[in-house]
Structure 1
């Protein structure tokens, strides 16, 4: 059985009263590699923000590890354990991905 990592159900998200995502659904399972190919940039940044951090929703639900972490009624602004690697990477070029993740961990960075 596949383990669900993240699920977004009927998510509608607004920024400054402008709808960025409307009735959006997504499921991500453990071990999956995801790629997004947007038709345009409308909503792409909003989706990435919602994946990383729980922001106030206009409607819908977000589950992380099977637990509801964000709803249209309430949100926690807590970070999810999901990181986004941007086009312009901030990774250390001489390290592999695993070493970069270790170096960037909060406990390591704070000394």
Structure 2
């Protein structure tokens, strides 16, 4: 299938698919004309990429993680030793960022409340 068909089937823009290719996340075959050719496995790969992006991983991290992720009955599962530990560290970084944002919001709330009272 060509890129437009993959975009329709995956719900991802052609631009995003080209970006995934630039980042090494997708490797379509090329016709002599230069057109990209994708197969059904690429639809599944795009789904995995989207899930990992939504989980807060960067494209560089996804490039490393993607070969270690399998789809078991529609649920992505880590399948390489050490992958879970790395994902736990990523979750800890996210938790830390959330804590910092909550503190910032509390400071802003206090500032807003002080302005109203004054």
Verify same fold: TM over 0.5. Answer: no
The structure richer in strand per residue is 1
TM-score (normalised: structure 1): 0.23
The structure having more radius of gyration, on CA atoms, is 2
TM-score (normalised: structure 2): 0.22
Q: Which is bigger in relative contact order (C-alpha 8 A, separation at least 6)?
A: 1
